[in-house]
Amino acid sequence: MSGEILDAARTTPLTGGPTFSLGNRMRRAIWAVTWRLLGTWTPVPLHGWRRFLLRLFGAQLAATARIYPGVSVWYPPHLTMAERATLGPGVICYCMAPVTLEPYALVSQRAHLCTGTHAIDDANFQLYAEPITLGARSWVAAEAFVGPGVTLEEGAVLGARGVATRDLEPWTVYAGNPARKLRQRQRPNG
């Protein structure tokens, strides 16, 4: 099975045992309280303030990255955003593994980037995580879902409420559940 098994030697998901270390859970708890009190509700123009908070907790963000109000980031050290990359209002970034947004990658409102899942055929229902990469100028439209291990290549589009469980080809438009290829996307001039 591909993906990073999380604390496999100590995990007992079926009996309620923790998957993550106490230190990891404490860092995430402090982050969640900080974000709820100081970040998630802030006015739209305060992208710099939200970048500051995310960086304080380990995110790697370009100076022009945009994070809108209502975004949920599970673990900031696993988030990397390049120039002009955007997480729109209400985006869920469930980054148990790294999530990378390359330049001009756009995630629209209430979309869900989910890097974690369970090994459904494992007797212990083991949790594992795989990274997500959104290529330059790719777009995840409103309320779409991108699953563990998926890469949207440069210029790929996942339409509104689409579900991507496999990589999306460059400069191609996809929609539906599961996402199906609809057509090629025109590349911008220059």
| pLDDT tens over the chain, length 190 residues | 445 555 544 556 677 777 788 899 999 999 999 999 999 999 999 999 999 999 999 999 999 999 999 999 999 999 999 999 999 999 999 999 999 999 999 999 999 999 999 888 888 788 889 999 999 999 999 999 999 999 999 999 999 999 999 999 999 999 999 999 999 999 887 6
Instruction: Give the pLDDT confidence score for residue 190 in this predicted structure.
Output: 61
Contacts of 94 (CB under 8 A, 6+ apart): 72, 74, 112, 113, 114, 115, 116
pTM of the entire predicted model: 0.91
Instruction: Give the pLDDT confidence score for residue 34 in this predicted structure.
Output: 98
Strand-pairing partners, residue 117, are 128
Beta strands in 33-176 (DSSP E): 60-61, 66-67, 72-73, 79-81, 86-87, 92-94, 99-101, 106-107, 112-114, 116-118, 127-129, 132-134, 139-140, 145-146, 151-152, 157-158, 163-164, 172-175
**Closest of 155, 145, 148, 154 to residue 175, by C-alpha:** 145
Structural Rg of the chain based on CA atoms? 17
SS3 5: strand
- Residue 104 tokens read as 């001009």
DSSP run (H or E) holding 30? helix 22-38
Instruction: Give the pLDDT confidence score for residue 5 in this predicted structure.
Output: 52
Instruction: Give the pLDDT confidence score for residue 4 in this predicted structure.
Output: 56
Strand-pairing partners, residue 113, are 93, 146
- Residue 122 tokens read as 């494992």
SS3 143: coil
Instruction: Give the pLDDT confidence score for residue 55 in this predicted structure.
Output: 98
> Quick check: 164 and 150 in contact, CB under 8 A?
yes
DSSP run (H or E) holding 181? strand 180-184
